[in-house]
């Protein structure tokens, strides 16, 4: 009820606004064969505002922006820019008209320098077509200084931080003189300490007259930065609200279509015996660089431990050492009293359930059917699924098992035989999560279990994790989202350059303190 | 002429077709196209060169037709691998096998001969005598009096290095290979860069083929490219496409070629010396695969 009232109120507001810079009217986009990504979406953006777009995964916010940017072509509807109807056939045309987009995944050439990346596609050249390096570098230096970005134009992109790479992406557009900047989840890759700087730089750009449209999952950020917020749900624009008069709860309700709880539902409980223990874990890569340094970590039964850290500080190596994808140089791994340090992967799988961060590559096979994805590993460990001493799969049992999984974990799928690719991200993750939890392992390892999922799916995954905690399993979660760790974990561990620099009960930790550990290590 | 200058001259002649084809392949390598069609382009060009030279009585017409022939194959490659997005490797194999059959068939149809077509009617590419250089002791005998196409290959190396490393074209070309999505998002079509690279490859393989049948020898024989396209691929992979590196590797292959001929006069079976290019290709692929395994970063083992 309240949602519909808000929608009505918003419809009135949009009429009163001054003529907008960009007006998108009745945009329809169907991805073949029949996925309706945008369903008559109508929205307008004012000149010089910071405007946020929020919505669940698949709500159409990225698609809407890609339509504006000329990367995706809409099937119906009209775009008016500066009062004139436009239809960009390619991003190049959009950029020439002054509209630029920074994608979610950073698209830079790692082998090139900062200035080479910035001028790529718009290089100043002499008569022979030779790049005028001095001029190019000078122009890049000038915009870096004009917008107060701290960047070295001669640094190789592979050597600079993710936050710096994002700045390069933004500068690339500013170099091309765009006045409308579209940012797709710019904060997803940043640490909490880096976000205020990005926001300050974006405000600076706005003050210089730029219009900023940004997509985000993080509602508190949206409310902090944006002047207006547009909410999308299932391809439709359900509301555009002034940020000052909106709460996070309102936005979440509009996004999901129902109330969402944000408080921790973790209830205190006494933890049991140590189930998972690594001692003195050390790993040196083939170049002799130390990737894990004397890691000691224990997780008890009924305990959920969160691992925080800036990406690339040993999380991947820790996960691979536990799952058996790499052999540590030194140290031991024990789960439920069994020494697994040198155990083959199949043996480990009797004790370790594992939800990888990359659903499509490590977690499952996008091309394989839901059934095949559901029974992976089970087909080796569960005798019920095979016949003839494991030589043949029992198809009936596999189908039965898949149905059971789908029912228990509320997977919605077109058919059992459909490829995993046909499922939404949330449902893919449910298949993988379900498969792993059904292994009934005492220890559960989760690597970014909610990355890229929408609010509703995140809530579901969190519920399942907490249920496992209540059931006395021990859980280790690696997450780039500190809020998630604070919401779920009993203890928080910080990895910095392959070393555990903090191991605190969540009650004693603050967001700022953990952020400092992540960036600076042991102070 | 002593043995050393003889060897060097032989090495340069042997290196020229490999170098020209490898420079062409280097452009596609930088653009991120796995192009193995140099062999076929060269063979087609060699046939067209002889046909053109014989029909028009002019080596220039032969060279032009050679370029057109190789470009036609490049165009087919573009239609399939770039436009229709088929597998580059399979497309390349198909083109190479097609060309072998087509040139053999055309040889019989046009000239009514089997195996080899030679004759006084074919106008060869002339040698170039450089007046001043010829007088330099020792070097003069090597630097002057080479086939025109040898100098063209040297010039092509220079131009390729300039294009790849100095110009905006080169920056975009390499960007297409490093990260095509990044280039596309910069407003430059990576597919277009691949097309340019393949067209350049066609032109250079055309020159390589013309040298084979109008410079190295003055005849066309079935399958006369004889694996040189594969060797050029090996050269590219060994030095990551760098034009200067390609030149050095081509000279080494050219030298191995002459050495093989020399060994034959010492009773080493010619079938054995004929194996060397392919062994070299295998060695190059081994290094290629090993480097890629490292890059993939699989840490186990």
DSSP output for A379-413: HHH-GGGEETTTTEE-HHHHHHHHHHHHHHTT---
Q: In angstroms, rounded to a whole number, what is the distance separating the alpha carbons of residues A298 and A288?
A: 27
Asked if A177 reaches chain B (Cβ–Cβ under 8 Å), the answer is no
* CA triple A239-A249-A453, angle to 5 deg: 80
**Residues of A with Cβ-Cβ distance to B168 under 8 angstroms:** 123, 125, 129, 131
Residue A9's pLDDT is what? 45
Residue B281's pLDDT is what? 66
Q: In angstroms, rounded to a whole number, what is the distance separating the alpha carbons of residues A358 and A346?
A: 20
Confidence of residue A385 (pLDDT cuts 50, 70, 90): confident
Put simply, whether the predicted model's pTM sits higher than 0.90 gets the answer no
Residue-wise pLDDT tens digits, B75-125: 999 999 999 988 999 999 999 999 999 999 999 999 988 889 988 889 999
Beta carbons within 8 Å of B153's beta carbon, 6+ residues apart? B15, B16, B19, B20, B23, B207, B211
Asked if A92 reaches chain B (Cβ–Cβ under 8 Å), the answer is yes
Beta carbons within 8 Å of A314's beta carbon, 6+ residues apart? A291, A292, A293, A295, A495, A497, A498, A499
Beta carbons within 8 Å of A245's beta carbon, 6+ residues apart? none
Cβ contact (<8 Å) for B168 and A123?
yes
- SS3 of B218, please? coil
Average pLDDT over residues B126-145: 79
Of residues A91, A176, A320, nearest to B299 (C-beta): A320
**Is residue A139 within 8 Å of A124, Cβ to Cβ?**
yes
Residue B120's pLDDT is what? 87
Cβ contact (<8 Å) for B172 and A95?
no
Residue A280 half-sphere exposure toward CB, CA atoms < 13 A: 5
Average pLDDT over residues A184-197: 80
Of residues B184, B188, B299, nearest to A326 (C-beta): B299
> CA-CA-CA-CA torsion for A233, A235, A236, A240, nearest 10 degrees?
60
Q: Residue A330: enclosing H or E segment and its boundaries? A: strand A330-335
- SS3 of A276, please? strand
Confidence of residue B294 (pLDDT cuts 50, 70, 90): low
Residue-wise pLDDT tens digits, B7-64: 888 889 989 999 999 999 999 999 999 899 999 999 999 999 999 999 999 999 999 9
Q: Nearest CA to CA, how far is A67 from chain B (Å)?
A: 14
Query: Distance between terminal CA atoms of chain A?
Result: 52
Asked if A158 reaches chain B (Cβ–Cβ under 8 Å), the answer is no
Residue-wise pLDDT tens digits, A284-301: 887 788 889 999 999 999
B272 pLDDT above the threshold of 80: no
B54: burial class by Cβ within 10 Å (0-12, 13-18, 19+)? buried
Pairing of strands A228-233, A236-242: antiparallel
Cβ contact (<8 Å) for B299 and A172?
no
Asked if B300 reaches chain A (Cβ–Cβ under 8 Å), the answer is yes
Residue-wise pLDDT tens digits, B198-222: 999 999 999 999 999 999 899 999 9
Q: In angstroms, rounded to a whole number, what is the distance separating the alpha carbons of residues B129 and B271?
A: 36
Beta bridge partners of residue A27, listed in sequence order? A41
A4 pLDDT above the threshold of 60: no
Residue A444's pLDDT is what? 95
Residue-wise pLDDT tens digits, A119-174: 998 889 888 889 999 999 999 999 888 887 878 999 999 888 888 888 899 999 89
Query: Distance between terminal CA atoms of chain B?
Result: 56
Cβ contact (<8 Å) for B186 and A172?
yes
Helices (H), A32-179: 61-69, 91-97, 114-119, 133-146, 162-175
B61: burial class by Cβ within 10 Å (0-12, 13-18, 19+)? middle
Whether residue A33 is preceded by a cis peptide bond, meaning omega within 30 degrees of 0, is: yes
Q: In angstroms, rounded to a whole number, what is the distance separating the alpha carbons of residues A167 and A176?
A: 14
- Length of chain A as a residue count: 523
> CA-CA-CA-CA torsion for A271, A275, A281, A285, nearest 10 degrees?
-110
Q: In angstroms, rounded to a whole number, what is the distance separating the alpha carbons of residues B298 and A143?
A: 40
Cβ contact (<8 Å) for A112 and B183?
no
Cβ contact (<8 Å) for B188 and A92?
yes
From chain A residues 404-443, the ones with a CB under 8 A of any chain B CB are none
Average pLDDT over residues A306-324: 89
**Residues of B with Cβ-Cβ distance to A96 under 8 angstroms:** 187
- SS3 of B221, please? strand
Count CB-CB contacts under 10 A for residue A54: 27
């Amino acid at each position: 009820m309240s949602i519909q009232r808000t929608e009505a109120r918003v419809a009135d507001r949009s009429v009163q606004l001054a003529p907008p810079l960009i007006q998108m009217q009745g945009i329809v986009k169907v991805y073949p064969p029949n996925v309706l990504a945008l369903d008559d979406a109508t929205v307008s953006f004012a000149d010089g505002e910071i405007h946020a777009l929020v919505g669940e995964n698949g709500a159409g916010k990225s698609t809407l922006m890609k339509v504006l940017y000329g990367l995706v072509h809409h099937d119906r509807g009209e775009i008016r820019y500066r009062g004139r109807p436009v239809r960009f056939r390619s991003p190049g045309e959009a950029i020439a008209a002054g509209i630029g987009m920074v994608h979610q995944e950073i698209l830079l050439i790692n082998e090139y320098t900062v200035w080479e990346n910035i001028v790529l596609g718009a290089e100043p050249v002499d008569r022979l077509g030779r790049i005028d390096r001095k001029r190019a570098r000078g122009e890049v230096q000038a915009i870096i200084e004009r917008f107060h970005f701290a960047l070295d134009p001669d640094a190789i992109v592979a050597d600079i931080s993710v936050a710096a790479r994002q700045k390069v992406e933004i500068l690339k557009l500013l170099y091309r003189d765009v006045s409308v900047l579209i940012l797709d989840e710019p904060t997803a890759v940043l640490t909490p300490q880096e976000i205020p700087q990005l926001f300050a730089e974006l405000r600076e750009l706005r003050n210089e007259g730029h219009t900023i449209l940004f997509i985000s999952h993080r509602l508190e950020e949206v409310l902090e930065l944006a002047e207006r917020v547009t909410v999308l749900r299932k391809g439709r624009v359900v509301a555009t609200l002034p940020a000052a008069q909106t709460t996070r709860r309102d936005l979440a309700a509009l996004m999901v279509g129902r109330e969402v709880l944000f408080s921790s539902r973790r209830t205190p409980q006494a933890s049991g015996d140590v189930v998972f223990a690594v001692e003195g874990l050390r790993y040196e890569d083939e170049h002799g660089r130390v990737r894990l340094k004397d890691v000691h970590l224990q997780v008890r039964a009924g305990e959920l431990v969160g691992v925080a850290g800036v990406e690339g500080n040993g999380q991947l190596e820790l996960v691979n050492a536990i799952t058996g994808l790499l052999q540590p140089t030194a140290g031991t791994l024990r789960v439920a009293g069994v020494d697994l340090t040198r155990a083959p992967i199949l043996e480990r799988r009797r004790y370790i359930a594992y939800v990888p961060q990359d659903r499509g590559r490590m977690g499952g096979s996008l091309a394989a059917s839901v059934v095949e994805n559901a029974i992976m590993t089970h087909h080796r460990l569960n005798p019920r699924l095979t016949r003839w001493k494991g030589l043949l799969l029992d198809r009936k049992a596999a189908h039965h098992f898949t149905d059971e999984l789908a029912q228990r974990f509320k997977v919605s799928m077109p058919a059992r035989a459909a490829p995993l690719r046909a499922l939404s991200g949330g449902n893919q993750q449910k298949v993988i999560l379900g498969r792993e939890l059904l292994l009934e392992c005492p220890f559960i390892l989760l690597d970014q279990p909610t990355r890229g999922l929408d609010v509703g799916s995140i809530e579901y995954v969190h519920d399942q994790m907490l249920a496992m905690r209540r059931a006395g399993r021990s859980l280790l979660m690696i997450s780039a989202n500190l809020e998630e760790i604070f919401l779920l974990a009993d203890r928080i561990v910080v990895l910095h350059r392959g070393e555990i620099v903090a191991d605190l009960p969540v009650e004693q930790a603050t967001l700022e303190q953990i952020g400092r550990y992540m960036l600076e290590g042991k102070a | 002429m002593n043995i050393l200058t003889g060897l060097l001259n032989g090495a340069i002649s042997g290196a020229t077709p490999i170098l020209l084809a490898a420079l062409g392949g280097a452009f596609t390598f930088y653009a991120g196209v796995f192009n193995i069609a140099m062999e076929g382009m060269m063979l087609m060009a060699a046939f067209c060169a002889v046909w053109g030279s014989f029909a028009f009585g002019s080596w220039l017409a032969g060279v032009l037709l050679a370029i057109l022939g190789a470009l036609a194959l490049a165009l087919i490659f573009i239609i399939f691998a770039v436009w229709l997005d088929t597998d580059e490797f399979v497309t390349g194999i198909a083109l190479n096998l097609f060309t072998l059959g087509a040139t053999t068939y055309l040889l019989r149809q046009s000239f009514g001969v089997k195996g080899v077509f030679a004759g006084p009617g074919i106008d060869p590419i002339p040698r170039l005598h450089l007046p001043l250089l010829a007088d330099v002791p020792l070097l003069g005998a090597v630097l002057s009096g080479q086939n025109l196409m040898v100098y063209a290959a040297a010039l092509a190396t220079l131009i390729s290095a300039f294009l790849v490393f100095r110009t905006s074209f080169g920056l975009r070309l390499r960007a297409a290979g490093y990260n095509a999505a990044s280039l596309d998002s910069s407003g430059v079509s990576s597919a277009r860069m691949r097309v340019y690279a393949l067209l350049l490859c066609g032109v250079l393989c055309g020159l390589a083929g013309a040298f084979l049948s109008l410079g190295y020898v003055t005849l066309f024989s079935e399958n006369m490219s004889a694996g040189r396209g594969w060797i050029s691929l090996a050269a590219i992979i060994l030095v990551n496409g760098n034009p200067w590196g390609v030149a050095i590797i081509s000279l080494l292959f050219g030298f191995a070629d002459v050495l093989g001929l020399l060994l034959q006069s010492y009773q080493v079976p010619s079938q054995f010396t004929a194996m060397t290019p392919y062994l070299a290709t295998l060695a190059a692929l081994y290094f290629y695969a090993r480097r890629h395994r490292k890059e993939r970063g699989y840490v186990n083992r």
